[in-house]
Structure 1
Amino acid sequence: MGSELGSGLTSLFVVTLVAAVAPVVVGLLGRLRVPQVVVLLVGGVIVGPHVLGLADPDSIALLSNVGLGFLFLLAGYELELSLFRQRAGGLAVTGWLVSAALAAAVVGGLAALGVVRAFLPVALGLTTTALGTLLPILRDNDMLRGRFAPYVLAAGAVGEFLPVVAIAILLGSYGRFVGLFSLVGMGLFALLLAVALPRLVRGRRISRILSEGEDATSQLTLRWTIALLLLLLVVASDFGLDVVLGAFVAGVVLRHWAPGNIQGLERKLDTIGYGFFIPIFFVSSGMGLAVESIAKAPARLFLFFFLLLIVRGLPTLLVYRNALPWARRFELVFIVSTALPVLVALTTIGLETGKMLPENAAALVGAGALSVLVYPSLAVSVDHRNRARRGR
């Protein structure tokens, strides 16, 4: 027991050290504009079992899953459901459906050639967008502004949420019918929470207790928010669904019931999520990358990297042609082509079921990591160029 605890603490220390060093590295790299997420992933590879062996991902698996939960909680919280009653939401869904059809055709061809064994996980992976990963990058570069913001948030949310729904139905542990039934049950439970919690909070006595305790040592609102997140993670897990879905739903529910000082709660969630749990998830993901498989077949990684752009990004130019000017559509291409967290979930499922080749799993996650390194940086460069042009 003592040795296991010591090993877990050592791994946690190494991971948190990587997380602390990452912003310093980003600052030293300066104009290269390397996203912090990439530094965390590379740091995880270096300290993980495939390189230096300083940390064991299994010993921090629970904290990593909570970090993944926080990532999608914050992504779900950013989502304004009213977007889907607007043009931005309709175009986002259309764009994802076009990507899904294109992914089916492309991956079907790869499967026929024997390059891919797991058709569904790979095809779904090519339709994902890492909104949770993108949010800090977009915020830091002031790219969530004006009429462009709803299109970015809607496209990102759809690219994150619909693949997770598809995972629940098509790749669930207990079959497709049970997966669909579980998804409906999860939705009804979330709807019940969304209706019941605001009514509970409106009670004078409860409201007073929450408002008095939200900034005191009890941190009452924050504790209830974390309890809500963990509750929906547990429910999603018990329903046989991915924890990503539970976390995303928790963020959506939280947006509708969060009491008291909303801005204060957002700052606290950012502090806990981005300050501790989310970096652990990314470092742990890097530790799990089978770099030797990527080294043996680097062409697969670059194939998936470019397919993310072709399948997920290029349809944007057509779908949004009447909604956004060319420069903005070009920017959105790189934003929606960025993928990673859902890719990690998909490859995990593919490996557990034995349907996905290990080299494809490593290459797909590696392509996601490379997309996080390259595509947001290109989007930021396009945005800066557009601003400079408008400022002339």
Structure 2
Amino acid sequence: MESALFVIPALAVLAPLLARGLSPWLRVPVVVFELVLGIVAGPSVLGWAEPSVFIDTLAALGLAMLFFVAGSEIEFGSFRGRTGRNAVLGWLISIAAGLAIGFVLAPGDAAVIIGVALCSTALGTLLPILRDSGDLHTPFGRTAGAVGAVGEFGPLIAISVFLGARDPGPATLVLVAFGVIAAMAIWLSITLPRGAMHRFVNSTLHTSGQFAIRVVFFVLTALLALSIALDLDMLLGAFAAGVVWRLLMRDAEQADRAAVDSKVEAVAFGFLIPVFFVYTGVTFDLAALLADPVLFVFVPLTVVVLLVVRGIPSMLAAPPDATWRERIALGLLGATGLPIIVAATAIGVASGVLPSAVASVLVAAGMLSVLLLPLIAMGLKGAPRVSVATHEGSTQGQRA
């Protein structure tokens, strides 16, 4: 563990330096370097960092923080009208196709894991890319956010219902109970007077009190604890916590919201989330792929399957005036998956349902999708374009 405590932070520092060094020629997401550096430093290659309980806990918090940020970035106006309907429809097509492929390849519980992995979208990974490119608050960016939100929330529901310790019937009832409690928290965040809290947030922004950050971690850990107590996937609680936090801060002054968001992002993307991605590389079972080189062929094939299963249905949500480049880019972003793939395959391997080699192929395909698909998508789409037509829900989304 001692070496990992030094190596993983060192790699987290090195990753953005490498990404910035390549930026004049190639815009590669920093997460790609975090994953690759983790693999190189891990037991499969150099052996500088080994899995440990402490780092595993930090990585789990990083994954939770990734989903918290994703939940807090959702623009609810994007789900109204055509965009929301088509985003949901596209995901339903994806889960049906993913389960069909899963049952062809591995009938039984493994089919559910494969299906969930194939229908996921890495919203938390895409948000920084969309923000850095200036697309986050354009019609294209809002549509990509809607597709990504459905592509993360839908698989989380499927994991909680089908991959938990309970049968689907009782699991659904428990999920409904969690939904009721989460809805109450959301309702309270909307209805309770927030003026005093916002003033206190403002007064402690630059003091040791840091009230906003303490509330973030309280909301996050409270819903994480609730999801764990109900034997649901903890990422469901993290995602719900992000939604609650966004609603708590929605009436705050723009400058205060920006300051708080900056602090949350500093904790998330400066500490916990890099630990998750580097540690994912450290724990990646490269030996399983090396033991059977034929499996390497299945990695790019799985990326193609992701494009068919998740990418094509994601294009249904494209704005009516979207260009063909934007539609294809939206499909590429929709097919970008990794966090849900890591979570679902980890459950499968731990329960003995999914062979380690199959899990490695799926995770490697997720890594490759993060490396290639956003890069191709943003290059194909070009500079941000403001739609002349009114994008459904855009005004509402900005007010949410």
1:21-68: per-residue Cα shift (whole Å, max 9, x none)? 001111222312221101000111112122222222323011111111
- Paired residue type of 2:311: G
- Shift in Å at residue 385 of structure 1? 7.5
Counterpart CA distance in 2 for 1:202 and 1:88 is: 31
Farther-moved stretch of structure 1 (310-319 vs 337-346): 310-319
Residues 1:309 and 2:302 are matched in the alignment = no
SS at match of 1:49: coil
The unaligned stretches of length 5 or more in structure 2 are 386-400
Counterpart CA distance in 1 for 2:320 and 2:198 is: 46
Counterpart CA distance in 2 for 1:280 and 1:317 is: 32
Contact 2:64 2:234 (C-alpha < 8 Å) held by counterparts: yes
SS at match of 2:382: helix
Pick aligned residue for 2:379 from 366, 378, 381:
381
1:306-335: per-residue Cα shift (whole Å, max 9, x none)? 111111112344564856332211111110
The unaligned stretches of length 5 or more in structure 1 are 1-6, 388-392
What is the match of residue 6 of structure 2? 13
- Shift in Å at residue 200 of structure 1? 4.9
Counterpart CA distance in 1 for 2:118 and 2:355 is: 16
- Shift in Å at residue 79 of structure 1? 0.7
- Paired residue type of 2:223: L
Give the TM-score, by structure 1 length: 0.90
Count of residue pairs the alignment pairs up: 376
- Shift in Å at residue 254 of structure 1? 0.6
Give me the CA root mean square deviation. Answer: 2.1
Counterpart CA distance in 1 for 2:316 and 2:149 is: 19
Contact 2:204 2:210 (C-alpha < 8 Å) held by counterparts: yes
Contact 1:88 1:150 (C-alpha < 8 Å) held by counterparts: no
What is the match of residue 230 of structure 1? 221
Residues 1:339 and 2:328 are matched in the alignment = no
Residues 1:25 and 2:23 are matched in the alignment = no
Counterpart CA distance in 2 for 1:140 and 1:77 is: 17
Pick aligned residue for 1:266 from 261, 280, 285:
261
- Shift in Å at residue 336 of structure 1? 0.4
Counterpart CA distance in 1 for 2:383 and 2:211 is: 45
Residues 1:275 and 2:293 are matched in the alignment = no
- Shift in Å at residue 198 of structure 1? 5.1
What is the match of residue 29 of structure 2? 35
Farther-moved stretch of structure 1 (363-372 vs 261-270): 261-270
- Paired residue type of 1:19: A
SS at match of 1:192: helix
Counterpart CA distance in 2 for 1:191 and 1:82 is: 18
> Cα–Cα, structure 1 residues 47 and 256, in superposed 2: closer, same or farther, change >3 Å?
same
Contact 2:139 2:319 (C-alpha < 8 Å) held by counterparts: no
1:205-245: per-residue Cα shift (whole Å, max 9, x none)? x5544432233211011111111111111111111111211
What is the match of residue 4 of structure 1? none
- Shift in Å at residue 163 of structure 1? 0.6
- Paired residue type of 2:364: G
SS at match of 1:52: coil
SS at match of 2:239: helix
Contact 1:128 1:312 (C-alpha < 8 Å) held by counterparts: yes
- Paired residue type of 1:56: E
- Shift in Å at residue 124 of structure 1? 1.2
What is the match of residue 155 of structure 2? 163
Counterpart CA distance in 2 for 1:200 and 1:322 is: 38
> Cα–Cα, structure 1 residues 214 and 355, in superposed 2: closer, same or farther, change >3 Å?
same
Counterpart CA distance in 1 for 2:123 and 2:168 is: 26
1:246-291: per-residue Cα shift (whole Å, max 9, x none)? 1110011111112562111111111110000000000011111110
Contact 1:327 1:386 (C-alpha < 8 Å) held by counterparts: no
- Paired residue type of 1:108: F
Contact 2:34 2:277 (C-alpha < 8 Å) held by counterparts: yes
Pick aligned residue for 1:256 from 232, 247, 255:
247
Give the TM-score, by structure 2 length: 0.88
Counterpart CA distance in 2 for 1:158 and 1:319 is: 11
Counterpart CA distance in 2 for 1:111 and 1:24 is: 42
- Paired residue type of 1:102: A
Contact 2:42 2:282 (C-alpha < 8 Å) held by counterparts: yes
Pick aligned residue for 1:293 from 284, 288, 293:
288
Q: Percent identity?
A: 37
Contact 2:223 2:237 (C-alpha < 8 Å) held by counterparts: yes
Counterpart CA distance in 2 for 1:29 and 1:226 is: 35
